[in-house]
């Protein structure tokens, strides 16, 4: 009797120990994932707070330290330099203009098309859907030479060129996601609006649009981020117009105030400066973004 | 089922539904159709202007010798650009023969046969071929030569990059998603952290990693490699041929795995928990639960995510252009440099068409296999 009891105690002990080890393993995994996700950005912040001699220190330190004494010493000079860098400030302005215009145009035009595809019946709907879906996969590089030739021939400035050409990847995506949102909206609502004497356009503006506002925010945000991120067209179109460079191009071609090779302290400061607002934006809307990405990718 | 109608029509229809129905239907349908077309016009006009027209002009100029900033008129040269881009040859490398003795030269240290250098062997007419790589096959040595070795290499590298990143992203993404699917304190914070790599601009992340990979111990990876005794701390990760692709793969995996994990997490949330409970009752182990419940139900999500990632990876540009410039090309960065640096509009267009065709074939297979649920 006593032996059985002892064995049982032993057994529960072992189970408990096993549970503890699983818990520890689990948390180790979580910490590893967190390091994997965040370390490069931490490294950028770390480097951005170092002076030129500190950046040259070998081995590199994991927090900014004084080369002589080894004490922690932080500098903000890279940030001041980045703020004084006219190309960089200009790039932020350019990117804002381009991304905001792209978002607004894509949403306006896209919601028209999305409404037609999601709620109206017409001949050729199925081919239109196929067309839009295939356009979401269209490789930009395929039209690079063609667009660039047009821009050079007609002397179109870089900023309008970017705004128009970014429709290539924002518009099909916007239409596709909005179509699926419109499809989900109840039809009864529209019909009762008609009974009340609303024209189709009125019901679109007064009933559908307010209902789809959340979808518009999500797709708009995704279009905005895609437009800020775009690099191939921006780099090509600003080749002969450096003043129109956007953030990615400016960061890629970053040069210091003194001509020298790649001032990484300043580059990292600029990188941190443009990343923080984006991260804040993304965190505020995180639920919506995940929903939008899933709708864009999983909706087949 | 949405019927658009003018109020008058509606009243008529109510008054005499049977008699007027066919006419009303067609009139209604016509109105609805007209509205739909008007709403679609802006989108179609924009796409026509920035996708179809330029695509047509790219196809056309790929058949010409057009250059920017050139006084010479563009000539129609048919498929010459394509044959220059894609011509391949496989030639056997003959063993080196000592002229004095007439014997095959053998390395005295390793005992290996010495072969002629590829430059001697590859054809020069009608166009000069250069070496892409050499390989052994059944005891003989061969060289793969291409008239544009850079482009062929860019295709090979892009394909390796695509396969490697997709596989790693799927495995790591699945691992992260399964870990974060377990409820724990701080799960929300982890989900937020997952959006960080996604929110960082590709150009920015490329420069951060470029700095981490720098060729002295001022860079993170050289510090780590030296501490682990793997190198002297001077490894030129981004210039050394054997480290270039692995570095590019790591950078891309870091940037896009969280996105994959988020999609998979959304997919995991859709699996009903009753299925796991039933499996538990049946005494299924965690591993067999994963194999017979999780994986099959997650497969559609995984498939779609992988397809999107594949399409993205095939057209990778930012990462290669920023990190490697002209030290290593992806297909897209090759086309870019031919256009901007070499100013060869026709030739670059031909390269773009090749990329377009490759991606289209893939996308076509994908759309066919998924299909669209239209009414």
Helix (H) or strand (E) holding B133: strand B130-137
Asked whether residue A92 carries a pLDDT value surpassing 90, the answer given is yes
- The range of the structural domain enclosing residue A94 comes to 78-298
Cα(B38)–Cα(B50) distance, integer angstroms: 20
* Least confident stretch, A45-54, B96-105, B292-301: B96-105
Asked whether residue A89 carries a pLDDT value surpassing 60, the answer given is yes
Chain A hits for B199, Cβ within 8 Å = 225, 275, 278-279, 281-282
Please report, for chain B, the start and end positions of each structural domain, with discontinuous segments joined by +.
Answer: 88-147, 150-370
Q: How far is CA A142 from CA B30, B245, B254, in A?
A: 38, 24, 27
Q: How far is CA B36 from CA A289, B2, B276, in A?
A: 29, 12, 46
> Which of B51, B179, B205 lies at the smallest CB-CB distance from A29?
B179
Q: Does B168 touch chain A (CB under 8 A)?
A: no
Taking an 8 Å cut-off on Cβ atoms, the answer to whether A59 and B227 are in contact is: yes
Taking an 8 Å cut-off on Cβ atoms, the answer to whether B43 and A110 are in contact is: yes
> Which of B196, B233, B259 lies at the smallest CB-CB distance from A38?
B196
Domain end (from A54, A75, A96): A75
User: Same structural domain for residues A114 and A250?
Assistant: yes
Distance (Å) from the alpha carbon of B137 to chain A's nearest alpha carbon: 37
User: Same structural domain for residues A21 and A155?
Assistant: no
Taking an 8 Å cut-off on Cβ atoms, the answer to whether B208 and A44 are in contact is: yes
Q: Are B12 and B20 in contact (CB under 8 A)?
A: yes
pLDDT tens-digit series, residues A268-293: 999 999 999 999 999 998 888 877 77
Instruction: List the single best residue of B55, B155, B183, B218 to mutate versus A (max A Cβ within 10 A).
Output: B218
User: Same structural domain for residues A14 and A135?
Assistant: no
Taking an 8 Å cut-off on Cβ atoms, the answer to whether B254 and A247 are in contact is: no
- By C-alpha distance, the chain A residue nearest B58 is A146
Taking an 8 Å cut-off on Cβ atoms, the answer to whether B367 and A271 are in contact is: no
User: Same structural domain for residues A89 and A120?
Assistant: yes
> Which of A167, A191, A271 lies at the smallest CB-CB distance from B50?
A167
Asked whether residue B71 carries a pLDDT value surpassing 70, the answer given is no
Q: Residue B26 contacts by C-beta under 8 Å, 6 or more apart in sequence? A: none
User: Same structural domain for residues A23 and A146?
Assistant: no
User: Same structural domain for residues A102 and A211?
Assistant: yes
Asked whether residue A47 carries a pLDDT value surpassing 90, the answer given is yes
Percentage of residues in chain B having pLDDT higher than 70: 90
User: Same structural domain for residues A239 and A294?
Assistant: yes
Q: b/e for B135-152, b at 16 or more Cβ within 10 A?
A: eeeeeebbbbbbbbbbbb
Per-residue confidence at B367, pLDDT binned at 50, 70, 90? Answer: low
Q: Average pLDDT, stretch B95-121?
A: 80
Report pLDDT for A206. Answer: 80
User: Same structural domain for residues A183 and A148?
Assistant: yes
- Chain mean pLDDT for chain B: 85
Report pLDDT for A296. Answer: 57
Comparing A200 with B31, the larger pLDDT belongs to: B31
pLDDT tens-digit series, residues B205-243: 999 999 999 988 889 999 999 999 888 888 899 999 999
Cα(B133)–Cα(B374) distance, integer angstroms: 49
pLDDT tens-digit series, residues A122-176: 888 999 988 888 888 889 999 999 999 999 989 999 999 999 999 999 999 999 9
pLDDT tens-digit series, residues A97-110: 999 999 999 999 99
pTM of the model: 0.88
CB hemisphere CA count around B220 (13 angstroms): 17
Taking an 8 Å cut-off on Cβ atoms, the answer to whether A121 and B33 are in contact is: yes
One-letter-per-residue 3-state SS of A44-70: HHHHHCCCHHHHHCCCCCCCCECCCCC
Distance (Å) from the alpha carbon of A144 to chain B's nearest alpha carbon: 8
Strands (E), chain A: none
Asked whether residue B26 carries a pLDDT value surpassing 70, the answer given is yes
Q: Average pLDDT, stretch A22-35?
A: 92
Cα(A214)–Cα(A195) distance, integer angstroms: 26
User: Same structural domain for residues A69 and A86?
Assistant: no
User: Same structural domain for residues A32 and A56?
Assistant: yes
Report pLDDT for A56. Answer: 85
CATH (domain of A224): 1.10.3720.10
Cα(A158)–Cα(A151) distance, integer angstroms: 8
Report pLDDT for A164. Answer: 96
User: Same structural domain for residues A84 and A53?
Assistant: no
Report pLDDT for B9. Answer: 37
* Residue B140 backbone phi and psi in degrees, to 5: -110, 160
Q: Does B2 touch chain A (CB under 8 A)?
A: yes
Domain count across chain A: 2
pLDDT tens-digit series, residues B132-184: 888 888 878 888 889 899 999 999 999 999 999 999 999 999 999 999 998 88
Cα(A270)–Cα(A255) distance, integer angstroms: 11
Cα(A300)–Cα(A123) distance, integer angstroms: 21
Q: In this complex, how many residue pairs, one in chain A and one in chain B, have their CB atoms less than 8 Å apart?
A: 303
Taking an 8 Å cut-off on Cβ atoms, the answer to whether A58 and B204 are in contact is: no
Asked whether residue A204 carries a pLDDT value surpassing 90, the answer given is no
Q: How far is CA A143 from CA A53, A226, A251, B53, in A?
A: 45, 18, 24, 9
Asked whether residue B374 carries a pLDDT value surpassing 50, the answer given is no
Per the structure block, which two tokens stand in for B260?
């994959």
Percentage of residues in chain A having pLDDT higher than 70: 93
Domain end (from A25, A49, A75): A75
Q: In chain A, positions 202-241, which contact chain B (CB-CB < 8 Å)?
A: 225, 228-229, 231-232, 235-236, 239
Taking an 8 Å cut-off on Cβ atoms, the answer to whether B263 and A298 are in contact is: yes
Asked whether residue A72 carries a pLDDT value surpassing 90, the answer given is no
Q: Does A130 touch chain B (CB under 8 A)?
A: yes
Comparing B200 with B26, the larger pLDDT belongs to: B200
Report pLDDT for A246. Answer: 97
Cα(A42)–Cα(A55) distance, integer angstroms: 15
Domain end (from A12, A47, A75): A75
Q: Average pLDDT, stretch A183-197?
A: 78
Paired with B95 in beta bridges are B115
pLDDT tens-digit series, residues B262-289: 889 888 888 888 888 888 888 888 888 8
Instruction: List the single best residue of A19, A139, A173, A270 to mutate versus B (max B Cβ within 10 A).
Output: A139
Q: For the structural domain made of B150-370, what CATH number should be given?
A: 1.10.3720.10
Instruction: List the single best residue of B28, B54, B180, B270 to mutate versus A (max A Cβ within 10 A).
Output: B54
Cα(B200)–Cα(B203) distance, integer angstroms: 8
User: Same structural domain for residues A13 and A69?
Assistant: yes
């Amino acid at each position: 009797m006593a032996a059985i009891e002892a064995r049982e105690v032993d057994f529960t002990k072992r189970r408990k120990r096993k549970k503890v080890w699983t818990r520890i393993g689990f948390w180790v995994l979580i910490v590893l994932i967190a390091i994997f996700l965040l370390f490069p950005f931490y490294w950028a912040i770390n480097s951005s707070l170092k002076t030129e001699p500190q950046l040259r220190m070998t081995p590199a330190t994991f927090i900014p330290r004084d080369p002589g004494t080894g004490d922690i010493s932080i500098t903000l000079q890279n940030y001041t330099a980045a703020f004084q860098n006219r190309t960089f400030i200009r790039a932020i302005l350019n990117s804002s203009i381009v991304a905001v215009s792209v978002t607004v145009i894509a949403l306006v035009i896209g919601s028209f098309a999305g409404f037609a595809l999601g709620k109206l019946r017409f001949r050729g709907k199925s081919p239109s859907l196929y067309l839009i879906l295939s356009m979401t996969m269209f490789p930009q590089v395929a039209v690079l030479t063609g667009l660039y030739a047009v821009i050079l021939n007609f002397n179109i400035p870089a900023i309008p060129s970017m705004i128009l050409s970014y429709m290539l990847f924002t518009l099909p995506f916007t239409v596709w996601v909005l179509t699926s949102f419109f499809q989900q909206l109840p039809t009864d609502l529209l019909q009762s609006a008609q009974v009340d004497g609303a024209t189709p356009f009125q019901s679109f503006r007064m009933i559908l649009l307010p209902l789809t506002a959340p979808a518009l925010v999500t797709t708009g945000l995704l279009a905005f981020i895609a437009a800020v991120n775009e690099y191939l067209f921006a780099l090509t179109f600003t080749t002969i117009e450096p003043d129109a460079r956007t953030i990615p191009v400016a960061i890629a071609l970053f040069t210091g105030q003194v001509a020298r090779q790649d001032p990484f302290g300043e580059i990292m400061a600029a990188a941190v400066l443009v990343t923080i607002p984006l991260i804040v934006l993304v965190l505020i809307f995180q639920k919506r973004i995940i929903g939008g990405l899933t709708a864009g990718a999983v909706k087949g | 089922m949405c019927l658009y109608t003018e109020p008058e029509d509606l009243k008529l229809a109510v008054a005499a539904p049977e008699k007027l129905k066919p006419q009303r239907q067609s009139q209604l349908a016509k109105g609805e159709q007209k509205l739909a077309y008007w709403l679609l016009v802006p989108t179609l006009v924009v796409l026509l202007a920035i996708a179809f027209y330029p695509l047509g002009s790219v196809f056309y100029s790929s058949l010409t010798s057009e250059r920017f900033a050139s006084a010479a008129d563009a000539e129609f040269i048919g498929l010459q650009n394509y044959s220059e881009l894609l011509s391949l040859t496989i030639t056997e490398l003959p063993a080196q023969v000592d002229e004095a003795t007439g014997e095959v030269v053998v390395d005295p240290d390793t005992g290996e046969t010495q072969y002629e250098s590829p430059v001697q062997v590859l054809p020069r007419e009608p166009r000069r071929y250069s070496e892409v790589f050499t390989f052994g096959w059944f005891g003989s040595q061969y060289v793969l030569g291409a008239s544009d070795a850079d482009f062929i290499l860019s295709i090979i590298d892009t394909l390796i990059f695509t396969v490697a990143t997709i596989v790693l992203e799927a495995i790591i993404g699945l691992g992260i998603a399964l870990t974060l699917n377990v409820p724990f304190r701080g799960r929300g914070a982890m989900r937020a952290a997952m959006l960080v790599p996604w929110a960082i601009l590709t150009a920015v992340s490329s420069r951060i990693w470029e700095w981490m990979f720098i060729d002295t111990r001022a860079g993170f990876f050289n510090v780590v490699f030296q501490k682990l005794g793997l190198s002297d701390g001077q490894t030129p990760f981004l210039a050394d041929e054997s480290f270039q692709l692995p570095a590019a793969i790591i950078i891309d995996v870091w940037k896009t795995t969280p996105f994959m994990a988020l999609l998979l997490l959304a997919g995991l949330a859709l699996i009903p928990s009753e299925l796991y409970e039933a499996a538990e009752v049946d005494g299924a182990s965690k591993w067999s639960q994963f194999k017979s419940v999780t994986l099959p139900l997650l497969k559609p999500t995984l498939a779609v995510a992988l397809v999107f990632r594949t399409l993205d990876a095939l057209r990778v540009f930012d990462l290669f252009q920023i990190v490697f410039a002209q030290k290593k090309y992806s297909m897209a960065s090759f086309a870019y440099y031919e256009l901007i640096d070499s100013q060869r509009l026709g030739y670059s267009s031909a390269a773009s068409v090749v990329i377009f065709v490759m991606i289209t074939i893939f996308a076509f297979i994908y759309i066919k296999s998924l299909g669209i649920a239209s009414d």
